[in-house]
Amino acid sequence: MTVVGELALPRRDRGSLTLWAGAALVGLHVGIALLTLVWTPYDPTGLVGGRLEAPSLLHWAGTDRLGRDVFTEIMVGSRIALLVGVGAVAIGGAIGVTLGLLAAFATKLFDDALAATLDILIAFPTLLVAMLVVAASEEATLWSSILALGIALSAVVARLSRILAKRVLLLDYITAARTSGTLWPGIIARHILPNIWPTLAVNFALQFGVAVIAEASLSYLGLGAPPPNSSWGRLLQEAQGTVYTAPFSAVAPGIALVSLVIGVNLLADGLRDFADPTRRTAR
C-alpha cells in the first residue's frame, strides 16, 4: 500500500491512474496531429495577423514575429514530434534489438566487443550523437534528424536487449527447446521475444520522450526540421528574441513539449507497473 497523506491507494490503482493519465495526454496530441491532416485554424505558413499579437479569440496563442498563428504552428508541431518519436524509436528498436540478440547468441569475443562498444556509445549524450550524425549528412532535414536519433537511441536498446535475452537463455525451457532441435529463429520468435517484449515496450516509451526532446533541441540549434516545418524547437528558437516582450510565443510551444513528454513518461510508468508482476499487489 502506498500512503499519501491520509489517502492510501493500492499500487495497481496508482498504476492504472498513471497509465490512463499518460494515455490521455498522449492521445490528445495524437488527436491534434491527426486533425492537422485535414484541418488547421489557419495556414501554418500564412501571415494571418499582426506581429506579436497577444492571445485572443482569433489567435488562441497569439501570433509570432512574422504574424503567423502560433496555435496553428503548435498543432502542426504535434504531428512532427510524434513522427520523430515513432520514427526514431522504430529505427533504434530495429537496430538495437537485432544487435542485442546477435550479442546474446554470439561467441564470448564478439559479445564482449559489442558490450564494450555499446558502453562507449551510451557514455555519449543522445543529443551529441545525433548532432554528429546530422552533421555527417549533406543537409539537416526532418528525415536526417529521425535517422540520427534512431541511431543514437539504438545503443541503449541494444544493451537492454542483450541483457534480457541472456537472462532468458539461462532458463530451463530454453535448454529443453535447444535439446529438442529447435532452431535459433524459432527460439527467438517463440521464447525470447515474447519474454523480453514487455520490458522493451516500457523502454521504447521512455526513448520516445528522449527522442522528442532531442529533436526539439536539434531544431533549436538549427540542425532539425528546417522551415516551413513547425517544429516546437524551432518555434522556441524564433521566440527567444521576443521572450520578454511577447512571452506567449515561447511559453505555448514549451507547454506543448512538456505535456507530451510528461504524458509519455506517465504512460511508460503505467506500462511498467502492469508489465512487472513484482510491482503489482492485489487489492
> With left for phi above 0 and alpha for psi between -120 and 50, is residue 212 left, alpha or beta?
alpha
Q: Work out whether the CA dihedral 134, 137, 140, 144 comes out positive or negative.
A: negative
Residue 15 and residue 280 in contact, taking contact as beta carbons nearer than 8 Å: yes
* Per-residue pLDDT of the chain in tens (283 residues, 90 and over written 9): 444 444 455 555 566 888 999 999 999 999 999 999 999 999 998 999 899 999 999 999 999 999 999 999 999 999 999 999 999 999 999 999 999 999 998 888 988 999 999 989 898 888 888 988 888 887 788 899 999 999 999 999 999 999 999 999 988 888 888 888 888 888 899 889 999 998 999 999 999 999 999 999 999 988 887 877 889 999 999 999 888 888 999 999 999 999 999 999 999 988 887 766 555 544 3
Distance CA 153, CA 205 (A): 12
The grid coordinates of residue 259 equal 505535456
Q: What is the pLDDT of residue 275?
A: 67
Domain at 14-279: CATH code: 1.10.3720.10
Q: Is 67 exposed, middle or buried (0-12, 13-18, 19+ CB in 10 A)?
A: middle
Q: What is the pLDDT of residue 5?
A: 43
The grid coordinates of residue 249 equal 510565443
Q: What is the pLDDT of residue 162?
A: 94
Distances (CA, A) of 31 to 19, 78, 82, 233: 18, 9, 11, 21
Residue 232 and residue 256 in contact, taking contact as beta carbons nearer than 8 Å: yes
Nearest to 208 by CA among 131, 137, 263, 274: 263
- Domain residue spans in the chain? 14-279
This prediction has a pTM of 0.88
| 139 CB neighbour count, 10 Å cutoff | 8
Q: What is the pLDDT of residue 73?
A: 95
SS3 per-residue string spanning the chain: CEEECCEEECHHHHHHHHHHHHHHHHHHHHHHHHHCCCCCCCCCCCCCCCCCCCCCCCCCCCECCCCCEHHHHHHHHHHHHHHHHHHHHHHHHHHHHHHHHHHHHCCHHHHHHHHHHHHHHHHCCHHHHHHHHHHHCCCCCHHHHHHHHHHHHHHHHHHHHHHHHHHHHCCHHHHHHHHCCCCHHHHHHHHHHHHHHHHHHHHHHHHHHHHHHHHHHHHHCCCCCCCCCCCHHHHHHHHHHHCCCCCHHHHHHHHHHHHHHHHHHHHHHHHHHHHCHHHCCCC
Q: What is the pLDDT of residue 4?
A: 42
Q: What is the pLDDT of residue 88?
A: 97
